[in-house]
Structure 1
């Protein structure tokens, strides 16, 4: 299994252009630019909440609008009228709900001293999960890409790609997948970011729910499913 993991990481390191084509920017381990070119941890959090059930290209347009209005900072959003924010993020699905949730989140984070203070808390994941609109995948994404805490977000792409890649049958249980992958992978910030970004990319471009493009997939030589298809 270790040999397969090492081979995966080797393949993923060569996928820079493909990662960038779908909005991931591999740079140094602690940079926020991994996450769609985000310039700050605040931008990672904001877009992580806005991108739920919304296309990334729409969220990028909205982020640029927020930047122009200096609304790309949680401290500023905390003091913003949710109705005004909903107008600014027009194009995002469920924008009124998301605007309200984002303002509440910003207020709560600002009250404890910002994301820097949050990162130092021992209950950071519980804090995030207690915020309205933040589920497990969003919480883990914020921890990994905004707070630089090595934790593996589990998406539907993660489950599908690793199920086929390793022949796993772990079902749909988020925590079971998280425990398995974190026990399998080197606990390293860069590696976690690289693997998450690469798996999302492969899931979007090749490992489709039906009629996967195995013959074009970078993992075709190490994937049990692809090899089984001949």
Structure 2
């Protein structure tokens, strides 16, 4: 199993162009640019809320709009009127709800002293999960890509790709998957970001729920499911 995981990670290292085609930008381990080209941790957090049930291309357009208006920081969002923000983020799904949630989140982060203080908190995940609209995957994504905290987000793509490639199935429980994969994958910031970006990319482009494109998938030689279909 460990040998297969290592080969899997090496394959992920070789698909940089694939990752970039869907908005992941592998650079140095601590860069926020992994996350859709985000320029700051603030932008990671803002877009982590906006991208929920919304396409990344729409979020990129909205982020550029926020940048032009100076609304791409936690401080500026905290001081924004939610109704005005909802107009600015027009195009994202549930924009009025997301505007309210973003303002509340930004204000709560500001109250505790900003992102640096949040990064130092021993209960970062609990803090994030207590924010309206922040679920476990979003919380772990913010921790990994904005705060550089070693934690692995688990998406539906993660479950589908790893269950097919490795033949594992810890069940539907998020934390069971998280524990299983964090035990298997080397604990390294670059690797965690690479794995998350790669499984989402492969899940979107090849490892489809129905009629997966196994013959075109970069993991076809490693994948138990793909080999079983031959």
How many pairs does the alignment contain?
230
Structure 2 alignment gaps of length 5 or more: none
Please report how far the alpha carbon of residue 141 of structure 1 lies from its aligned counterpart in structure 2 after TM superposition.
Answer: 0.1
| Corresponding residue SS for 1:91 | coil
Structure 1 alignment gaps of length 5 or more: none
Tell me if 1:228 matches 2:215. no
Please report how far the alpha carbon of residue 171 of structure 1 lies from its aligned counterpart in structure 2 after TM superposition.
Answer: 2.3
Runs (4+) of structure 1 exceeding 4 A deviation are none
1:186 alignment counterpart: 186
| Corresponding residue SS for 1:161 | helix
Distance 1:26 1:206 in 2: 20
Tell me if 1:117 matches 2:91. no
2:42 alignment counterpart: 42
> CA RMSD of the aligned region, Å?
0.5
Distance 1:151 1:195 in 2: 11
Distance 2:76 2:64 in 1: 16
Distance 2:121 2:173 in 1: 26
Distance 1:209 1:139 in 2: 25
Contact 2:170 2:180 in 1 (8 A): no
Q: Deviations over 1:84-105 (max 9, x none)?
A: 0000000010000000000000
Q: Deviations over 1:151-185 (max 9, x none)?
A: 00000000000110111222211010000000111
| Corresponding residue SS for 1:197 | helix
Distance 1:155 1:164 in 2: 14
1:137 alignment counterpart: 137
Distance 2:53 2:199 in 1: 19
